[in-house]
Amino acid sequence: MKKLTILAAAAGVLAVTATAACSSSSPTPQAGGGGTTPTLTGDCAQFQPYAGHSGSTVTMFGSILSPESDSLNTSWADFQKCTGIKIQYTGSNTFESDLPVKVNGGNAPNLAIIPQPGLLQQMVQTGTVKKPPAQTVKNEDNWSKVWKTYGSADGTFYAAPMSANMKSLVWYSPKYFASKGYKVPTTYADLMSLSAKMAKDMSGTAKPWCGGIGSGTATGWPATDWLEETVLGTYGGQVYDDWISHKVKFADPQIQAAMKTVQGWMLNPAWVNGGVGNVQTIATTTFQNAGLPILKNQCGMLQQASFYEAQWPKGTKVGPDGDVFAFYLPAVNPSIKTPVEGGGEFVTAFADDPATQAVQNYLSSPEWAQSRIEVAPGWVSANEKVDQSLYKDPIDKISAKYLADPSATFRFDASDSMPAAVGSGTFWKGMVDWFGSGKSATAVAQEIDSSWPN
């Protein structure tokens, strides 16, 4: 899933104090004679292309909640101060169900941050999504072509990517590993061997792995990632793509074999759920809290995306010699060249007024991406024009390295790419049934397959 940004904290509009020292001199006529555009000077001069819409409010809706939304608001604070455009962001942990209700009820936001290509396509089918302005289309050249396909529907480009995240990571405690003499595994076989050794070494509630799939109305998405990683790392990109399009079904041998692999890993009672309880507690533990037992040496590892960095308590040192760090999740099948699963978000417009388009243009620019990088550890942009030296955070550096690797087998999150009724519906529910109720892999697969839209 996207799941990358569904953070279960209180939603709301956040007030931000802007820091830019900007001013304007005498106004200049706007093109077409429709009023005047002020000339921005000083630190504000960089925002001149977006000037002329002071006093406008652009509403934005997404699944990003605090603490991640704090840096989001900070990233455009100078833009707001200099242009006079107010970006009114609201987040919801029921975003996937809320957005269609808003759109169908005639109450769509000006902009929505959509993490699922499948949901984007569903919204396009309503006829309410606006095509992006020319500058946003031009800015799209700063991304690799594959990202444009994820922001498109029926071959038409609608939404520029906002961020990228790397799913293929395993979080751990370097200090704990060092104290036990554990080495970071570089192959899947080594990872399984390490898990078995940890299980023998640990006692009480401590286990090699911890996990949680609770996430409001999006509960279940972390488990979809575990299966997706396994499918991609076992069979490569073609089977993965065919699975997304349902040419390969959940009941087919490849996916059933992948589910069996996940059963031996994250449904293994000897290996999970560290610091919490039995396997079933994975279904009732929120994904935000899932990794916290690592800090108490009650859990050895957590498979979770780069954006999980925002969930560690304040003061937690992240790094190779810190309290927590992450390593690349090795391919199940060593013949698959560097499988990397990623996710992202796409800025989608339901309005095409000048102020909304100015915000679209800014959010698709490398300048905004660099502003966000500077204030948001754990956040990576897919924009190829971004100065890579800006990544100071060690997790960001790992993510940027793998996401930019031209030889990697990169694929977007499968459930995000499937039809929304499946990817953010029956697939999520199936994972909850599998982990929380003990439903069999074959029964789960049958229910998901039967729900696929014609």
Three-class DSSP category at 18: coil
Same domain assignment for residues 259 and 287 = yes
Same domain assignment for residues 253 and 300 = yes
Report how many domains make up the chain. Answer: 2
Give the tens place of pLDDT for each residue, 356-414: 999 999 999 999 999 999 988 778 887 888 888 899 999 999 998 898 787 899 999 99
- Report the alpha-carbon distance of residue 410 to residue 306 in Å, rounded: 15
Q: Which two tokens stand for residue 17?
A: 């104090």
Query: Peptide bond before 273: cis, by omega within 30 degrees of 0?
Result: yes
Query: Peptide bond before 406: cis, by omega within 30 degrees of 0?
Result: no
Same domain assignment for residues 145 and 187 = no
Question: 386 in a domain, yes or no?
Answer: yes
CA dist 18 → 15, 51, 60, 90 (Å): 10, 17, 18, 18
Question: 183 in a domain, yes or no?
Answer: yes
Question: 11 in a domain, yes or no?
Answer: no
Give the tens place of pLDDT for each residue, 144-172: 787 888 999 999 999 999 989 999 999 99
Question: 191 in a domain, yes or no?
Answer: yes
Does the structure show a pLDDT above 80 at 29? no
Same domain assignment for residues 156 and 177 = no
Same domain assignment for residues 334 and 378 = no
CA dist 262 → 189, 223, 246 (Å): 14, 9, 20
pLDDT the model gives residue 428 = 97
CA dist 312 → 93, 166, 171, 223, 344 (Å): 19, 17, 11, 20, 21
If 0-12 CB within 10 Å is exposed, 13-18 middle and 19+ buried, where does residue 358 land? buried
- Tell me the residue range of the domain where 49 lies: 22-166+342-410
Does the structure show a pLDDT above 90 at 239? yes
* Three-class secondary structure assignment of 227-255: HHHHHHHHHCHHHHHHHHCCCCCCCCHHH
Q: Which ranges of 245-318 would DSSP assign to H, the alpha helix?
A: 253-265
Same domain assignment for residues 248 and 334 = yes
CA dihedral 43, 44, 45, 50 (to 10 degrees): 150
pTM for this predicted structure: 0.79
Mean pLDDT estimate for the chain: 91
CA dist 366 → 84, 385, 389 (Å): 21, 6, 14
- Report the alpha-carbon distance of residue 407 to residue 299 in Å, rounded: 33
> Higher pLDDT residue, 276 or 407?
276
Q: Which CATH number is 279's domain given? A: 3.40.190.10
